[in-house]
Amino acid sequence: MEYISTRGDGAVLDFEAVTLAGLAPDGGLYVPRNFPLFSGTEIAAMRGLSYVELAVRVMLPFVQPSLTEGELRDLATRAYGRFAHAAVTPLVQFDQQHWLLELFHGPTLAFKDVALQLLGRMFEHFLAKNDDHLTIVGATSGDTGSAAIDAVAGRERVDIFMLHPNGRVSDVQRRQMTTVRAPNVHNIAIDGSFDDAQAMVKRMFVDSAMTGRFRISAVNSINWARLMAQVVYYFAAALQLGAPDRKVAFSVPTGNFGDVFAGYVAAQMGLPIERLIVATNVNDILHRALSTGDYSTGTVTPTAAPSMDIQVSSNFERLLFLVGGCDGAALAQQMRGFEANKAMQLTNMQREGAAALFSSARADAGDMTRAMSWAYEKCGQVIDPHTAIGLHAARASGLDASIPVVTLATAHPAKFRDAVERATGQRVQLPTRMGDLFERQESYVELPGDYDAIAAYVAERATPSS
């Protein structure tokens, strides 16, 4: 598969290059030049495959020729072997129409494990081949940091430096990062907010003293390989519910538009998807963009679903490119306008293209609590606040009762157990595999919110690129 940037710089990369690069040099995001298309017969033949075999079928066209089928199978087998459920992403029933796709059986209890466990192994594979070394630098307010650390802990040729705002992440989230004991994992608690941490990471990416010596990479969802890995569970769920003979809708708790974009990719590959529902909390830039065409940022309001508390959704650019006629030059200009004004208007073509598959809904704190109580009282299911926002949107969608609607469960309820307890009265236990989290020893350094101190810390410990 060949990949191009959404901002039209013209270079064509293979899968290995886009995986190691993350962002394109023109500031755009990589997308496949075209989408592999499966026929109904080919999709029907995927019924009954194990998750790993399904993953190989769905991903192989995207990774060739950088990976052989055997290499892909080996990486997927090892990545999904770390999941605590034999089905990897099991589907659970709510009622006649509504279903729950549990994406939280990975090592850190959030759906990000599905992609990152694979990505960490792909990094290791490509770096070994090139005899190179990667330095991952990231800032986290919670879920991404723990999933990325777990995915690369102990992997050869990769060091990870994860910044978190000191005292501002939950105890479970901090311990999930700081109790991973591996020499290539470096946790840094900085004095300051998440935005301060993020600003320092961004600065390191453009600091030639650092980029000249180290191959610095990010692990956020701008990385194409992450989105690709997420396409697989849309196929898995739809096949369970009768695809390709029956259409299925999905409701997706959304922040950076990565997870729901993977659903769009599945539809482009021939999976019959009736509708993709973008569920947001009160930080509703995507709901406004999809319902009125107004993509403008406001201030972030902290909610009980912190992984959705964002005002710019990086992956939305991929959709705007694909539904806007794949015109890189025009999109580059539109994005420059957005970066200058913190606002832009979608074109009619973008609006209509998006509306063909996407709808959206916004849930406030009351909607979220009611969805959590409904799931518990009517179906005996305890769900987390992010998932509850998805379920609210699913139930409000007004889709015909003949269409099954799958809500993506993006986090285990134990990860946000205080909010869950407030809504349902239930105190969720950490799964047994995490049970001793509060006894494990933590390891992290505390640094001032000062760029030079952090850059020096990284430079002393990272391995230069070859």
Ligand X SMILES: *Cc1c(COP(=O)(O)O)cnc(C)c1O
Interface with ligand X (CB under 6 A), residue total 16
When asked if residue 16 is in the footprint of ligand X (CB under 6 A), the reply is: no
Minimal distance, residue 275 CB to ligand X, in Å: 17
Question: Do 91 and 101 touch, CB atoms closer than 8 A?
Answer: yes
Tokens for 384, please give them: 């987390």
When asked if residue 411 is in the footprint of ligand X (CB under 6 A), the reply is: yes
User: Of 60-68, 73-81, 117-125, 249-257, which part binds ligand X (CB under 6 A)?
Assistant: 249-257
Minimal distance, residue 446 CB to ligand X, in Å: 25
Those residues with Cβ within 8 angstroms of residue 445's Cβ, 6 or more apart along the chain or in another chain = 186, 187, 188, 189, 457
When asked if residue 143 is in the footprint of ligand X (CB under 6 A), the reply is: yes
When asked if residue 256 is in the footprint of ligand X (CB under 6 A), the reply is: yes
When asked if residue 253 is in the footprint of ligand X (CB under 6 A), the reply is: yes
Could you give the CA distance from residue 58 to residue 220 in angstroms, rounded to a whole number?
A: 22
User: Of 119-127, 248-256, 287-295, 321-329, which part binds ligand X (CB under 6 A)?
Assistant: 248-256
When asked if residue 255 is in the footprint of ligand X (CB under 6 A), the reply is: yes
- Is 247 catalytic? The answer is no
Residue 251's alpha-carbon distances to 109, 403, 438, in angstroms, are 19, 12, 34
User: Of 48-56, 66-74, 257-265, 350-358, which part binds ligand X (CB under 6 A)?
Assistant: 257-265
When asked if residue 386 is in the footprint of ligand X (CB under 6 A), the reply is: yes
Place of tokens 């989408």: 35
Give the contact letters, 91-110, x = binds to ligand X (CB under 6 A), - = no. Answer: -------------------x
Binding residue (CB under 6 A) for ligand X from 280, 307, 350, 424: 307
When asked if residue 254 is in the footprint of ligand X (CB under 6 A), the reply is: yes
Minimal distance, residue 144 CB to ligand X, in Å: 7
Minimal distance, residue 245 CB to ligand X, in Å: 29
Beta strand segments in 201-310, E: 216-217, 248-253, 273-280, 294-296
Using alpha carbons, select from 272, 290, 259, 274 the residue that is nearest to residue 398.
274
Instruction: Give the torsion through C-alpha atoms of 244, 249, 255, 257, to 10 deg.
Output: 40
Could you give the CA distance from residue 310 to residue 297 in angstroms, rounded to a whole number?
A: 9
When asked if residue 215 is in the footprint of ligand X (CB under 6 A), the reply is: no
Is 215 or 392 the residue whose CB approaches ligand X more closely? 392
Are β-strands 98-102 and 91-93 bridged in parallel, bridged antiparallel, or unpaired? antiparallel
Is 32 or 390 the residue whose CB approaches ligand X more closely? 390
CA 63 to chain centre: 19
Tokens for 192, please give them: 């300051």
Are β-strands 358-362 and 134-139 bridged in parallel, bridged antiparallel, or unpaired? unpaired
Q: Given strand 98-102, what is the order of strands in its sheet? A: 91-93, 98-102, 405-409, 248-253, 273-280, 358-362
Question: Do 243 and 269 touch, CB atoms closer than 8 A?
Answer: no
Using alpha carbons, select from 393, 395, 409 the residue that is nearest to residue 91.
409
Using alpha carbons, select from 185, 196, 109 the residue that is nearest to residue 448.
196
Is 271 or 308 the residue whose CB approaches ligand X more closely? 308
Using alpha carbons, select from 37, 44, 31, 22 the residue that is nearest to residue 4.
31
User: Of 91-99, 191-199, 251-259, 360-368, which part binds ligand X (CB under 6 A)?
Assistant: 251-259
When asked if residue 112 is in the footprint of ligand X (CB under 6 A), the reply is: yes
Minimal distance, residue 173 CB to ligand X, in Å: 10
When asked if residue 89 is in the footprint of ligand X (CB under 6 A), the reply is: no
Is 148 or 210 the residue whose CB approaches ligand X more closely? 148
Within a 10 A sphere around the Cβ of 39, how many other Cβ atoms?
10
DSSP assignment string, 372-407: HHHHHHHH-----HHHHHHHHHHHTS---TTS-EEE
Minimal distance, residue 213 CB to ligand X, in Å: 31
When asked if residue 410 is in the footprint of ligand X (CB under 6 A), the reply is: yes
When asked if residue 198 is in the footprint of ligand X (CB under 6 A), the reply is: no
What DSSP designation does 411 have? Answer: B
When asked if residue 173 is in the footprint of ligand X (CB under 6 A), the reply is: no
Binding residue (CB under 6 A) for ligand X from 179, 221, 360, 381: 221
Binding residue (CB under 6 A) for ligand X from 30, 257, 338, 374: 257
Could you give the CA distance from residue 276 to residue 355 in angstroms, rounded to a whole number?
A: 10
Place of tokens 């986290």: 140
- Catalytic-role residue among 112, 202, 247, 378: 112
User: Of 13-21, 53-61, 255-263, 431-439, which part binds ligand X (CB under 6 A)?
Assistant: 255-263
User: Of 33-41, 240-248, 256-264, 442-450, which part binds ligand X (CB under 6 A)?
Assistant: 256-264
Minimal distance, residue 386 CB to ligand X, in Å: 4
**Residues in contact with ligand X by the rule CB under 6 A:** 110, 112, 143, 221, 253-259, 307-308, 386, 410-411
Which residues does the annotation mark as catalytic? 112
